[in-house]
């Protein structure tokens, strides 16, 4: 009986540890990255689907994305300890030691880059290197100094669609850049909504988000509206570039116009409740746009 209890406790402890390491990789963001990479890959493919290349690209991207997210949590562990919404993460809660997290994140990132280089091409590999370095060595440190770090962080954040494209085409074509533009612009209303909702948390952590340094919300509202407006024509670009049927422009316009509508409401009302509505709209927007890309692919 005692041996059984000990083995059960050991199994429970192992499961908890594995769960903590999984959480360290920011799985919700990894799934978004994989969905975007898959979409870029699918749109770039002509003829039969190269399933082996697809699986290898997704696996390599998952490793790289998980390592990048873990390294980001290692960088921000002190700030996470000062924010209510992140206090329970493995590092600030003390369930994983910083040195262990650093080794884990670097190992996962390097494995992802090596896999990406072996499975795809040099261009996709260098895009992966850019994401890892720009996100962790540029965007993350600057968050504590300047509000426009959000703009810089949107560049590595928009690479997954482009990465999926280059894995197949091995070129930075206008079609790939159009996909990059969609994800680049989508991020701003999404992250400004989060920043508005948790501005007090960010202020406690010393993170210089726009709603923290300009708490009246006017500048945040203008940013949300400007980027939402720019997203409308960019979202329809796949139709004009021959990547989809021209009919794709209709749902792309309607989705983007709806996104703009909720952005305007958030900019006008400046409430946490309306920011949460905008956040939900952003979470719905991207998978729905991807769905119509699947349906209307040329």
155 located within any domain: no
- Mean pLDDT is lowest, of 10-19, 117-126, 174-183, 230-239, for 10-19
Q: Are residues 143 and 180 in the same domain?
A: no
pLDDT confidence of residue 20: 93
Total-model pTM = 0.91
Q: Are residues 138 and 181 in the same domain?
A: no
Model confidence over 99-137: pLDDT tens digits?
A: 999 999 999 999 999 999 999 999 999 999 999 999 999
Q: Are residues 192 and 179 in the same domain?
A: yes
Model confidence over 256-295: pLDDT tens digits?
A: 999 999 999 999 999 999 999 999 999 999 999 999 999 9
pLDDT confidence of residue 14: 75
Distance CA 94, CA 99 (A): 12
pLDDT confidence of residue 6: 57
228 located within any domain: yes
Q: Are residues 137 and 267 in the same domain?
A: no
Which range of residues forms the domain containing residue 292? 173-298
Indicate the pLDDT class of residue 139, thresholds 50, 70 and 90. Answer: very high
pLDDT confidence of residue 16: 83
1 located within any domain: no
Model confidence over 191-239: pLDDT tens digits?
A: 999 999 999 999 999 999 999 999 898 999 999 999 999 999 999 999 9
Distance CA 66, CA 34 (A): 11
C-alpha distances in angstroms, 90 versus 17, 21, 139, 141, 227? 9, 8, 22, 20, 34
Q: Are residues 236 and 284 in the same domain?
A: yes
Q: Are residues 252 and 276 in the same domain?
A: yes
Q: Where are the alpha helices (DSSP H) in the chain?
A: 2-24, 27-44, 51-75, 77-80, 98-119, 122-133, 140-142, 149-157, 159-169, 174-197, 199-205, 210-213, 218-240, 249-269, 272-296
253 located within any domain: yes
154 located within any domain: no
CATH of the domain at 87: 1.10.357.140
Is residue 11 predicted with pLDDT exceeding 70? Answer: no
Residue where one domain finishes, among candidates 135, 155, 171: 171
For residue 244, what are the β-bridge partners? 297
Distance CA 137, CA 71 (A): 10
pLDDT confidence of residue 3: 56
Q: What are phi and psi of 140, to 5 degrees?
A: -60, -50
Q: Are residues 106 and 239 in the same domain?
A: no
190 located within any domain: yes
Q: Are residues 51 and 198 in the same domain?
A: no
The stretch 75-85 carries a mean pLDDT of 93
Model confidence over 141-151: pLDDT tens digits?
A: 999 999 999 99
157 located within any domain: no
Whether the CB-CB separation of 66 and 30 falls below 8 Å is answered with: yes
Q: What's the structural domain count of the chain?
A: 2
- Mean pLDDT is lowest, of 8-17, 82-91, 135-144, for 8-17
C-alpha distances in angstroms, 247 versus 1, 36, 79, 162, 252? 67, 21, 46, 23, 9
Indicate the pLDDT class of residue 12, thresholds 50, 70 and 90. Answer: low
Q: Are residues 33 and 125 in the same domain?
A: yes
pLDDT confidence of residue 10: 55
Whether the CB-CB separation of 296 and 248 falls below 8 Å is answered with: yes
Q: Are residues 203 and 121 in the same domain?
A: no
Q: Are residues 67 and 85 in the same domain?
A: yes
- Residue identified by tokens 């700030």 is 79
270 located within any domain: yes
Q: Are residues 167 and 186 in the same domain?
A: no
For residue 297, what are the β-bridge partners? 244
Task: Supply the mean pLDDT for the chain.
Answer: 93
């Amino acid at each position: 009986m005692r041996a059984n209890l000990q083995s059960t406790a050991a199994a429970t402890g192992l499961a908890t540890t594995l769960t903590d390491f999984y959480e360290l990789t920011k799985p919700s963001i990894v799934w978004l990255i994989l969905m975007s990479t898959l979409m870029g890959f699918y749109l770039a493919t002509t003829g039969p689907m190269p399933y082996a290349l697809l699986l290898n690209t997704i696996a390599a991207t998952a490793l790289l994305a998980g390592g990048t997210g873990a390294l980001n949590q290692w960088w921000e562990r002190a700030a996470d300890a000062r924010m209510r919404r992140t206090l329970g993460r493995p590092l600030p809660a003390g369930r994983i030691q910083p040195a262990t997290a650093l080794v884990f994140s670097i190992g996962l990132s390097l494995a992802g880059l090596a896999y990406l280089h072996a499975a795809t091409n040099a261009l996709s590999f260098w895009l992966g290197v850019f994401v890892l370095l720009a996100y962790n060595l540029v965007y993350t440190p600057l968050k504590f100094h300047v509000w426009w770090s959000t703009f810089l962080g949107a560049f590595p954040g928009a690479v997954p669609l482009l990465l999926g494209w280059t894995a197949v085409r091995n070129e930075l074509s206008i079609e790939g850049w159009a996909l990059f533009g969609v994800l680049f612009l989508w991020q701003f209303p999404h992250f400004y909504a989060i920043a508005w909702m948790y501005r007090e948390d960010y202020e406690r952590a010393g993170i210089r988000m726009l709603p923290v340094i300009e708490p009246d919300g006017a500048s945040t509202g203008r940013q949300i509206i400007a980027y939402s407006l720019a997203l409308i024509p960019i979202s329809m670009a796949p139709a004009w570039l021959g990547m989809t049927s021209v009919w794709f422009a209709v749902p792309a316009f309607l989705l983007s116009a709806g996104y703009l509508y909720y952005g305007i409401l958030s900019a006008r009302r400046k409430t946490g409740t309306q920011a949460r509505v905008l956040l939900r709209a952003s979470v719905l927007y991207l998978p729905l746009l991807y769905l119509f890309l699947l349906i209307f692919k040329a």
